[in-house]
Structures are given as C-alpha cells and as structure tokens.
Structure 1
C-alpha cells in the first residue's frame, strides 16, 4: 500500500509517496505531473524487492513552491534528490526520472555518482551540454515559437494554464500521447494565441489516463503552474552552471526508454543522439528501448513494458 508523508530537505518540505522495503528507488516525475504519474510502478517494483519513493518535486503538488525563480536550478533539483536519499536514511539509491525528472536523474548520476547505484531516464535522453544556451538556440531555430521560450516568459503560460486547469491537463496529456492522431510535430506555440489554442480537446480520455487520474492531477496544481514553469526559466542558467562538466558523461549503470511517438524524441538533434548513445555512454546496459506507438507519457501509457525493463535493469545492477 502506498503511504504518504513529508520530509524536510534543503530548506524545503517535500511530499513523498512510498511503498515497499529493500534497496531505495527514487522516482522523479516531469511536467505537468506529480508523484501520481508513477502509480503503475509502486506495486511491481515493491513486489520485486525495492523500496519505492516518489516525491512531488519542488514547485509541484503538496511540496513547497519557493517564490524565487533561482531556487529551481539544476543544482537545487539534484540537491533535493541527494537530500532525500539522506533523509530516508539511505547511503545510495537507484534514480529513475521521466520528462524533467530524467535530467534531474541524469545529473544526479553525473554530479554524485557515489550516491547512485543506477540511473534510468524515460523520454529525455542523457545530458550532453551544447555549445550555446538552450533557450537562445531554440529561439534562433524557431523564431521564439518553441515552447521552452514561451514558458520562459514570466507570468504568461502561468495565466493561460491556470485559467482552466482541468482542460489544460486534458489537452496536454492527449496531444503528447501515442493516441493523438497525425504525425509527431515540434511543440511550437503562437506567442499571441498561446499554446492551448492549437491543441484539440479530446471527447474522451484514453484508457491509461482516467477521469479519476485527471482529478488527482488537477488537484495537485491547485497552487498554479508557476513553480513548475520556473524549471524552464532556469534552462540557460543551468547551461552556465554546468560548464565544468562540459564533455562529461554519465558512467553509472544506465537505462534509457522512449516512445517512437514522443515529441521529445523528435527534438532537433535528439534522434541522432539516441542513435549514438551506446557509443557515448559506457554504463548503458542495453540499447535505448524504443516503445512502438508510445507517446510522451512513457510509464503511464506502457506500464507493463516499462516495469519489465526497470525491474530487469534494477535487479541486474
């Protein structure tokens, strides 16, 4: 049974969900999600002999939402994972992340390999620092229409998404899923109309994301979207902060899983990176696992395949 409590970490209070006993596995959600995005993983991983903990990361759900935009840098986010491992009384952990949680997981393994038994990323591949700041790069490539650039505008996406939280989330989860019709598109935004205007509102939700799931997720955004969006507002700052790790690679045992209909996997340069990963990462335990027909919400859309891959990886580390 999943239990809930809060822990104090690095000056913020984090809500966590936990189940099971054994080696610690920390599950890190992405945007716009919460601990609930791992609901299909708690039972199988705990039954496989692991202690499973999924926090609401800072700026999300029942965890603290610092007001300072600068409090959401990659160093703060990795610091929360490090502090959480310690607060749970553990020396090491397996760290698994999806979407934004994946860069946090990858950077935890990169910056603190002594604490990481193994690392797995879903959707977002391992970080390889580019030659220019990411917001500037996408601004130049897409004329300011890439969603990162839209999210970086203070207060704009915050207001759009909070106007009708439930509709926002329903549109997000449909449009980035494997159930959305058509070809996978780059996530571009008309800065005058906003992002949601071009997203269809589905008549019904897919089987893997029920009305009850939507209720839980909508409640977790009762404080709005600003904390979550502040992660994006640190993209260029993160690029500056991680300059000492230019050219560094994750060396811990690693797993990467993605869907072939995930827009993230089609970002500029990402298909080529995925193809090159086996030669770039010495710790990669298998070729990147591509899930046919799967969109962005990897562990929710395809829980059985993700759980099988995770358990095989975790028990083999």
Structure 2
C-alpha cells in the first residue's frame, strides 16, 4: 500500500480519481468497487495482485470520494459509468485488460466485457450475477411484487429520501450496512419484511462496533469517501434501472464470451434476491467458473480475503497471465 500512486483523470466529462499499484508495464487489472464502499475496499487484494506482476488500477467510481458526483440521477446509468472506465483505459493506452467488480462494480464489469470483447480479456464478478437484459426494467417487477412491502431499491427511487436517512449519521450508516449484510448477521436479515413506507433502517441492528474485517484505519477511508458530499451520488446509481434497460437494448442478445469468474458468499442476501439470475447466468456466460465461499456475507473480498485472493490469482494464472 506504500507504493500506491494517485491521479485525477479527466474522462467522459468528469474527474475520475484513480489509485494504482504494481509494475507500470504489467497487464492492466481494474478493481471496481460497489455500494456503499470505496477504492479502499480492495485493500487486501492490491498488494498480492501487484506482487503477481499486474498493474492494478482502483478507481473511485463516479459519485464517490474525489471523483465527480453529478446531481442529475440520469448521469449514473450503466453505460455512462462504463464509458468512464473505457475513457480512462483509452487515456492510459490500455488495449488488453481484466476487469473485476464487486456489488455495483460487478454489473459494470459484466457490461464492459459485453461492450469491449477485444479489449476485455477476462472478467470477474463478485456478489452480483449477470443474467442478461431482463424482459422489463427490474424496478417494474419490484413494484409488482412489493406493492405493499418495503424493498430497499424502491425506497431509493425518490431523490433526497434515502440519502437524508443515510447522511444523518454516516458512521452509523456504514456500520449498519456492513453488519446487516455480513456473515455475522442473522441469515438474510437485510431482507426482513416490513411494510411499504418504512424507513431504510427500521428493524436493522446497529452493532455499535466495527466488523472484524474492517479496522479503524480502513473505516476512516470509508468515512472520508462520504463525509463531504454524503450518499446522493452513490444512491443515484439505483435510480437508473429503467434507463439502463432502455440503453442496453442493443446488448440484449449478446453473450459474454470471455473467461469469467463469479464469487458469492453463502450468507450474502444478494444470493436470495438474485436466485433467478443465478440460474440464468450459465446461459449468458460462455466460459463461466463459479464458487460459493463459506461463512461469507456480502463484503466478500474483505470477509474472506485469503480465499478471494487465491481464487483470483488462480483464475488469472489460467486466463490472464501477468507477463
């Protein structure tokens, strides 16, 4: 971590904050974080991957940290965010890359693989599977299924509501999100039923302490990511399901052809939410390798860092050799 470099790239109409490590001539390996996280969520992967010879690139995604955070929710659709990373790759002269994404970073990684079959040689997704373009926007389906029940994604749709709850006490928000979707929480506790109109944190437990996989120094980096502007940029990603569906029509019939690795924690509530997508994934990814990690919640690269690193390095050695 002492060898980290930092720069601000002007790409796609925004400033993109980018950390990097490893040999400058090493093959490019992008690590894309999710919600509500930061570049530092990859802290346990950076050194092993750099030591293996990869040029590791870790952006603060649009809406986070030192990167730009437009107010307009429409500025956060999946193809626009992909274009941020594509423009950065162009600026850095990268013609061969591997992309790794966790949580919201996973859909970006999957779509980069679809959009850039010649440049993206291999792809890794964690926590969020790829099932192709649905027959209708996911939020339309949610509104049908959750007309009288709470769903956090539907709760996120009204600008200003969820971020006000989250911004009121940022350390508490992060602690609660980390705990309630981790292996330490009761299984699928995050998905407990509550009535429509409930608040985001109703019924959620605040452990009051940090999880074992996030020490005080790491937590400081998470706090730094959100302290100045809060969560509005991060939550705006969720306000584009319909726009994403509209803009990806030309990708509807495409299959991911590159070697692909998918990792999921056995106690990750996303596994329940995305059960149907998980079944569809082998039909949409031609060369798919999947692993479920035991005693692991949503924060997979931190909760089971050693296992994740072993899986990553093994996959890369077979499909994206460093030199």
TM-score in same-fold range (> 0.5): yes
2:217 match: 212
Does residue 89 of the first structure (1) align with residue 89 of the second (2)? no
Q: Paired residue for 1:292, among 285, 291, 294? A: 294
Q: Paired residue for 1:264, among 260, 263, 270? A: 270
Measure the CA separation in 2 of the matches of 1:182 and 1:308.
26
Superposed CA RMSD in Å reads: 1.6
1:281 match: 285
> What TM-score do you get using the length of structure 2 for normalisation?
0.92
Unaligned runs of 5+ in 2: none
Measure the CA separation in 1 of the matches of 2:156 and 2:121.
34
1:73 match: 77
Deviation at 1:277, TM superposition (A): 3.5
Measure the CA separation in 2 of the matches of 1:109 and 1:163.
38
CA contact (8 A) 2:181 2:188 kept: no
Q: Paired residue for 2:152, among 147, 158, 161? A: 147
1:115 match: 119
Q: Paired residue for 1:178, among 171, 180, 183? A: 183
Q: Paired residue for 1:4, among 3, 6, 14? A: 6
1:168 match: 173
Change (3 A) 1:9 1:190: farther
Q: Paired residue for 1:254, among 236, 257, 260? A: 260
Deviation at 1:221, TM superposition (A): 0.4
Deviation at 1:183, TM superposition (A): 4.6
Measure the CA separation in 1 of the matches of 2:112 and 2:193.
30
- SS of the aligned residue for 1:114 comes to coil
Structure 2 matches for 1:38-49, cutoff 5 A? 38-49=42-53
- SS of the aligned residue for 2:218 comes to helix
CA contact (8 A) 1:259 1:296 kept: yes
Does residue 245 of the first structure (1) align with residue 251 of the second (2)? yes
- SS of the aligned residue for 1:121 comes to strand
- SS of the aligned residue for 2:35 comes to coil
Deviation at 1:234, TM superposition (A): 0.6
- SS of the aligned residue for 2:129 comes to coil
CA contact (8 A) 2:175 2:209 kept: no
Does residue 305 of the first structure (1) align with residue 301 of the second (2)? no
- SS of the aligned residue for 1:65 comes to coil
Q: Paired residue for 1:133, among 125, 132, 137? A: 137
CA contact (8 A) 2:187 2:269 kept: no
Deviation at 1:235, TM superposition (A): 1.0
Does residue 51 of the first structure (1) align with residue 61 of the second (2)? no
Aligned residue pairs total 313
1:148-167 C-alpha deviation (Å, 9 max, x unpaired): 11011110001000000010
Deviation at 1:280, TM superposition (A): 4.1
Deviation at 1:184, TM superposition (A): 5.0
Measure the CA separation in 1 of the matches of 2:194 and 2:40.
27
Unaligned runs of 5+ in 1: none
> What TM-score do you get using the length of structure 1 for normalisation?
0.94
CA contact (8 A) 1:69 1:233 kept: yes
Measure the CA separation in 2 of the matches of 1:175 and 1:58.
25
CA contact (8 A) 1:95 1:118 kept: yes
